[in-house]
Structure 1
């Protein structure tokens, strides 16, 4: 299992950052080669126990990334928001801890992920971390911009 963290600042307020990052319908537009195939929903519709699946690949070659929301608390007033999502797929496993908090200029998003990719030896975890950090950072910035 490898762990990485991405921090992204945004000019949008925390409630809007939360809505943009967890709007599963927007992920299809932003994340290359990935489509949410089950559980496409808005952030406001996600609750503890919500399940969704993202399919990554091209044509018949790819994998399903099955996830379940373990806990979710949207930001309110001065209180930060947090969500914990468990990845239970056959290829990608682990967990995501998302935190969104207010900053003087808008909001800050912290995405921490423990990731285990089937077939990738622990000694090569640094490759998984590097690629994942870059990809998730890029996607989070696009989601926060509203792309």
Structure 2
């Protein structure tokens, strides 16, 4: 499995950074060729057990990235928030751990992910990690900018 971490500092307070990261409707605008759908797509509505799907496609050719929230604790009262999201699709599997913590100048987002892309061989894990880290860093920054 490929592993990577993205750390982004922002001037946004932790609560606002969290809201922007987990407003899943914004992911559709921020991630090319991808549409998110699910029963709950807002940061304040996500709970342990919430499920959503990111469909990435060009025309009829694509795949579904199925995800479920295992744990979620939004930041509040100046404290950090954290979540664990499990990827359980046929093409993409793995886990995302996110911590949004307040800092003196705003907040810090730490996004750690383990990802397995089928049918790619494990030999390509370093390439998958590099490409995924770059793509997620770009997306996280877009989401934080609003």
**Category of TM-score, reference length = shorter chain:** over 0.9
Separation (CA, whole Å) in 1 of partners of 2:105 and 2:32: 29
Q: Does the 8 Å contact 2:36/2:53 carry over to 1?
A: yes
Partner of 2:75: 75
What residue in structure 1 maps to residue 63 of structure 2?
63
Q: Any gaps of 5 or more consecutive residues in structure 2? A: none
2:119 corresponds to 1:119 = yes
TM-score of the two chains, using structure 2 as the length reference? 0.98
Could you say what secondary structure the match of 1:41 adopts? coil
8 Å CA contact retained: 2:72, 2:82: yes
- 1:93-138, Cα deviation, whole Å (9 max, x unpaired): 0000010000111010010000000011111101100100000000
Question: Contact between 2:37 and 2:52, CA under 8 Å: does it hold in 1?
Answer: yes
The one-character-per-residue Cα deviations of 1:30-71 (angstroms, maximum 9, x if unpaired) are 011110033351100000000000100111111000000000
**Alpha-carbon separation, structure 2, partners of 1:40 and 1:125:** 32
Deviant stretches of 4+, over 4 Å: none
Cα distance change of structure 1 residues 38 and 78 upon mapping to structure 2, 3 Å threshold: closer
DSSP-derived class of the 1:43 partner: coil
Is residue 129 from structure 1 mapped to residue 129 from structure 2 by the alignment?
Answer: yes
Report matched runs for 1:11-50 at 5 Å.
11-39=11-39, 41-50=41-50
Question: What is the TM-score with the length of structure 1 in the denominator?
Answer: 0.97
Unaligned runs of 5+ in 1: none
Q: Distance in 2 between matches of 1:87 and 1:124?
A: 19
Contact map agreement 2:51 2:66 (CA 8 A) in 1: yes
Q: Deviations over 1:3-44 (max 9, x none)?
A: 100000111100000000000011111011110033351100
How far residue 78 of structure 1 moved from its aligned partner, in angstroms, is 2.7
Distance in 2 between the 1:90 and 1:55 partners?
12
